[in-house]
Structure 1
Amino acid sequence: MDFKKLEEQYKSELLENVLPFWLQNSQDKEEGGYFTCLERDGSVYDTDKFIWLQGREVWMFAMLYNKVEKRQEWLDCAIQGAEFLKKHGHDGCLNWYFSLDRKGDPLIEPYNIFSYTFA
C-alpha cells in the first residue's frame, strides 16, 4: 500500500470537498452558528442547532487555521460560531444547552456530557 498516495487522497478530499461543503452550507450567516442537519446537496432540512456540532465546528476551523493554513475564511467561520456559542449556548453559568432553535433560543435544557465536552 502506498501510504503517501493515500495521504494525498485524504488531504485532497478534505480540503477540496469536505471543508468547502461545510463552509458553504453549514454557516448560518443570518442568525449565527451552524446548521447541523444538511442533505447531501447542502440543503438544510432542520434548523435546530445542536451544541455538540457547534463546538466541534468551531474547534475544527480554528485548528485548521492554526495548524494547516492561515485561511481567513476558516478563521472567520470559527469566530462566528464561537460568538454564537458564547451568546446563546449556555444559561449564563456555563451550563451548556443540548440544542437551540435557529435564533439561539434553548430547545433542550442542559442534561448530558456531550454538550459540555464539545463546547
Structure 2
Amino acid sequence: MYQFSYAEVAQDTAADARERERMALDHSIDLLRRAEASGPRSRDAIEAIHATRSLWALLVEDLASSENGLPDNLRAELISIGLWIMREAEAIRLGKSTNFQGILEISQIIRDGLN
C-alpha cells in the first residue's frame, strides 16, 4: 500500500490543475488560430470566441475566489488580463475588432507561465 504525505498530494493536485489549465488554454489558442485564418465572421470565429470567453470566465471566477492560493497582486493582474481578453473577444463578436492576434499572444504568454 502506498502512503503519501499531504504535501505530496497537494503538490500533485496543484500540478494537475496547472496541466488542465494549460490544456484548456492550448485548446482556446488552437481555436483562435483557426478563427484568425477563417476570418472574424466565420463559424470558427464563433466557436473560438465562445470557448475563449467561457474559459476566461471560469478562470476569472477561480481567481476571484478567496480559496485561490496565488498572491493577491498576481490574482488581480490575471483577472484584469482575463477581463481584457473577454472584452476583446466580445468586440470581435460584435464586428468592432479583428484582434485575434492580441488575444492569441496574451493567451500564449499566460499558458507558457503555467510551467
Q: TM-score range by the shorter chain?
A: 0.3 to 0.5
* Larger RCO, structure (CA 8 Å, separation 6 or more): 2
**Which structure has the highest strand share of the two?**
1
Instruction: Please report the TM-score for the alignment, with normalisation by the length of structure 2.
Output: 0.39
Higher alpha-carbon Rg: 2
Instruction: Please report the TM-score for the alignment, with normalisation by the length of structure 1.
Output: 0.38
**Which structure has the highest helix share of the two?**
2
